[in-house]
Amino acid sequence: MLGEDHSLTKEFPEHLNTITALSKESSEFAARAKQYNAIDKEVRVLELQDAPIDDQSMQQLKVERAELKDWLHKELVSASES
pLDDT digits (tens, 9 = 90+) for 5-49: 999 999 999 999 999 999 999 999 999 999 999 999 999 998 888
pLDDT digits (tens, 9 = 90+) for 42-70: 999 988 887 678 889 999 999 999 999 99
Can you list the alpha helix ranges (DSSP code H) found in 15-54? 16-25, 27-48
- Report how far residue 53's alpha carbon sits from residue 33's, in angstroms, rounded to the nearest whole number: 24
Q: Residue 3: its pLDDT value, please?
A: 74
- Whole-structure pTM value: 0.89
Confidence of residue 82 (pLDDT cuts 50, 70, 90): confident
Q: Which residues fall within 8 angstroms of residue 29, CB to CB, at 6 or more apart?
A: 22, 23, 72, 75
- Report how far residue 62's alpha carbon sits from residue 39's, in angstroms, rounded to the nearest whole number: 8
Q: Residue 49: its pLDDT value, please?
A: 85
